[in-house]
Structure 1
Amino acid sequence: MLQGKTIAFLVAPEGIEQVELTEPWKAVEQAGGTPRLVSTQRGKAQAYNHLDKADAFDIDATVDEVSADDFDGLILPGGVANPDALRMNDDAVRFARSFFDAGKPVAAICHAPWTLIEAGVVGDRAMTSWPSLKTDLHNAGASWADQEVMVCTNGPNTLITSRKPDDLKAFCQAAVDAFGGG
């Protein structure tokens, strides 16, 4: 289903919710795609299980070494610190926005829509997220609903959003379907 497709996973060097990285990563691999870890600096990205340090993952490329043209889609894992750091990095914000400019599918879970708010791409979109982002998304022009997964095709690309780790099964399926053109 994703044979020959490469999916970018954009993360900060620290603060990723591990399961929100590893489960979509596995889903992309199981569908025949190639996941690549992109960050704002080289080295390793430190993941967490909520507030406890978990595994560190090798970063494949930095945002200034690649572009949306190198990928077929983008996944933004959550965690509180991860998207908060990304939205403060102009290169990371530009990288995320470039997928919208290119009309490529984007999937964001939990707090990850913070990066998309900063990129200015959520206006007139139907989305979900961790509940504390509801007001932020409304203020940025999105409509928010408390749902397991939302697939929004109102705009130049497909945008998939989910609330939390409990929604990962639906999130991963919707993302793989979108990346596969379904």
Structure 2
Amino acid sequence: MAERAGEGSVPSWEQVVTRLVAERGPALERYAYLLCGNADDAADLVQDALVKTFGRLRNGFTVSSAEAYVRKAVLNTYLDNGRRKTLWRRIARLEATEATLDEPVPSSDLRMDLAGRLRALSPRERACVVLRYYEDLKVDDIASQLGISSGAVKRYLSDALAKLAIVFGADEAEGTGGRRGD
């Protein structure tokens, strides 16, 4: 096909995607990584979100508005995948077991493994934590983005923070318990 002349004033969707990936790609992948906890899955999430956002020809996007659409698509894709995995676990009758540590690990190593701790949360809990503390959204904004009530968001945040507090609180107690008597 020949290029059309006179379309220089509004950037085409190809130009917007190219600029978005060049300028904001790493930030989008970090956002996806916080949600899923795996670099390869994060790259896949961003790729899927770009395809979903620009799969239909869309013109009129700016880089910042396209980024907002892609972030929303990353979040929705992550939550959809989480729902799919949860449904599959019910159907397959697999029994999930909690990971236990056979030997004590220094508390600094555990504190540094925040991504690992986020993986222990349910998809909704993790999404709420990331949106609250990484995206710095308010509870009502999170509820709007996820399509759930503010009370549900508060509950997910409370449950997630309680799970994280148990892990990090136990680590703190182990790390400082021996020093007090010295």
| TM-score between both structures, scaled by the size of structure 2 | 0.26
- Structure ranking higher in helix proportion: 2
| TM-score between both structures, scaled by the size of structure 1 | 0.26
Please say which structure displays the higher CA radius of gyration. 2
